[in-house]
Structure 1
Amino acid sequence: MRALIFLLSLLFVSPTLAQSYPERNIRMIVPYPAGGSTDILARTILQPLSEALGKPVIIDNKSGAGGILGTTEAARATPDGYTIVFGNLGPNALNASLYKKLAYDPIRDFVPISKVVDVPFLLVTAPSTGISSVSDLIERGKKDPIALTYASVGLGSASHVTAELFRRQAGIEMRHIPYRGGAPATNDTLAGQVSVYFITPLEGISQVQSGSLKSLGISTASPSPLFPGMPTIDKTLPGFQVVVWFGILAPAGTPPAIVAKLNDAITRAVAAPAVQETLKQLGVEPKSSTPEAFAATIRADVDKWAKLVNEADIKLD
């Protein structure tokens, strides 16, 4: 009965809240350290988002446990529109199957507001490995089951599960070499110490452009205009597609009228010419969305990665 009264009250209160919201600064939790990829993307839209809302949006870096600490704090925040979180595939979808005792539910405890950007993976190798294409990689794996290795930024990371998905779909063996972060994984890939690495453009665009890393393919379903001439992995391995999305969510229970106002502001911020140009230079695709479409994306990814994680028996607790 109390829940029904609360829901009915929102029908009357939400329009009023939307008219006056926001009346003070908005805190946007970034559950990763300052200077990292997630932080860079969040700061790219910070100024235009503040302008669209008419009040400053202040980033609060709450890093720890692979994004879990900051995401947990966001889930427990008052659902009044004054605390939002800059989430991504890891803490807001993948973690649902990696952890048995996660302190939040990625679907139940959040209301998605809008995606901000889609980030592909580039499957890279050092020129010294002599691997020339995705088909060449697969052929080598089938000829010699112990020859290939792949780097990741850590057990259970998006780069790890993406490589595992590739390995399983290709029907080959590749030994996993986990690293503590992108820098050492990239360095050992450059040196040819590991065969391949699924790297994001945020980490590796300069090395790919300079030729110090060779990209065998991109993980999007269709060719990317940001990487002209680069083949999709899907061309050789039909059905293979992985996109790491980043977007903004609010605690569950945030009034719909405030969600709508935030969505409108994010859409305008992402569409700003300076934001579009900066994101494209980083090799990622600006991608705002409706709350409903974002929620559907999250649900689909929770299901997709749960199947892979369970089959591969990847657990982090």
Structure 2
Amino acid sequence: MMDLALFRLPDGKAWIGEGPFAEAAEPPPGDAFYVNDFALSSPTPWKIPSRLTEVPAGALPEHFSVTEIQPRIVWQKPATEWFKMAFRRIRKDVLSHKLRKMVPVLTESGTLLQQNGQTDLSALLNRVMDAPSGLWGYARIEGDKGFLGATPELLLRKEGSRLETMALAGTAKPNGRESFVTDAKEIEEHELVAGFLKDALAPLGKVQIGERQTSEAAGLTHFRTEVAVELEGNPDLNSLVRRLHPTPAVGCLPRDAASLEKLTEYRRQLQAPDYFGAPFGLKVGNAFHAVVSIRGIGWDGDKVMLSSGCGIVGGSAFDHEWRELRLKRESVARLLGL
């Protein structure tokens, strides 16, 4: 039975951990994966593999066996009713200044069909390994359940005293770039994330913020701002994850208890998988990389979940957000060949 974790850097270099995995509450001295849910509720998020293999780039290691059968999934179109209700309530709270931003998640469900008597998604690991440069790959598979994807969003990278992160928010098709760069709603959504990161990191040292740029990833265009800080102390990795997650790119603003409670309720009503938008990372050598686990799929047996989220601010319109959700799911389907 498959028991593995995978982490791939944007340049294609990757690490594959094989089980059984030991678990720990705190970062261990050696290499380990960081796997948690969106609520950061795991008491032991550090997963220490029995075997860790470094892969320079490209294919999986020779000893690692996955099926070559591309999965077939029958999808059910998501209903608009619950999402439309969430959209209206969130926008009402934004317009009444109770919120500045919130990210509801819509999940499209599917059924994995048997082929040659098998229901197997391991072939998608090759798709993650072959994802375009600029994306981080991630995967966690435990028997007949798991999740994987290729995300454009870095939560944090820490090496020595330097911590790097990014604001990634605002979405458009690549051929819509000219109108996108002046879109007030998309700029507002992005700048809320950048401002949050600046404020969150300010107590840790001098923050450096780059210029807002456009970034293309897997067929979509986003605004992206690089953020870094030279740490004046040596905060532990768990506290750094908690400080940044969830950013307003996948969560809410303000990030107070009342807003987070509303976010949790919307995620529950819309059946957002626990892994979606959660931090996923790898501590290897003297570096720690953690990404936001979006742009992927999850499964449990033959039930498959494909999720997407959108940021709702004052300038949001339902039709625009509904289209953005579809574009994001379609980009995942293309990437994974589904």
Please say whether Structure 1 and Structure 2 have the same fold, judged by a TM-score greater than 0.5: no
Q: Which has the higher strand share?
A: 2
Q: Which has the higher helix share?
A: 1
TM superposition score normalised by structure 2: 0.24
The structure with the largest alpha-carbon Rg is 1
